Structure 1
Amino acid sequence: MSLYLLTSSFGNVKGAIERKVEKEITKKIPIQVFISTTLLILFIVLYRAFLSMPVIEFFVIFAFLFAYGLSIYYSKKMEKDLYNYVKGSTA
């Protein structure tokens, strides 16, 4: 009987943790999609606007790559923060 209660309570805790993780992930995904979409639109607009200027074109591509790198950095940082948050809440 006690084994049943132990496994049952573990299943409830596991389900609660999974729901908490899912809730946190769904909160942060729209931010990531918004950043990526905005950067893509900005790149296309600036590239089309400065297509005839080679020097500016270099800076536009550099700015796009820098912004893309920042978005990857922050997405990894959010993923790490989420992992630490879930790990801390289960301890």
Structure 2
Amino acid sequence: MASQVPPQKPVTSAANPQDVWDVELLHVHVSRKGQLVNAEWALHPQIKADLSAEEWKELGELMSKVTTIVGHRFSQALGETDPTPPGNA
């Protein structure tokens, strides 16, 4: 389980009781270079440190499936678009 220590609150010029903290816990990034599609994931360092070895293994397996699905779907969508028209060089 993640620790109960919240991240540092951003410093603002005026204190607002409705301030919201944005913390990215999980990030999935899909990129492409030409026809090559790459999907990667990352986890907030504090959560990573708080996971047991078994939880880390389970999360790694699940996220491997997620990135495979997302990468495959991105590749599929890329294949369904019209090819780039030739230039007038």
- The TM-score normalised by the length of structure 1 is 0.40
Q: Does 1 or 2 have the higher relative contact order (CA < 8 Å, sep 6+)?
A: 1
Instruction: Give the helix-richer structure, 1 or 2.
Output: 1
TM-score by length of 2: 0.41
Higher strand share: 2
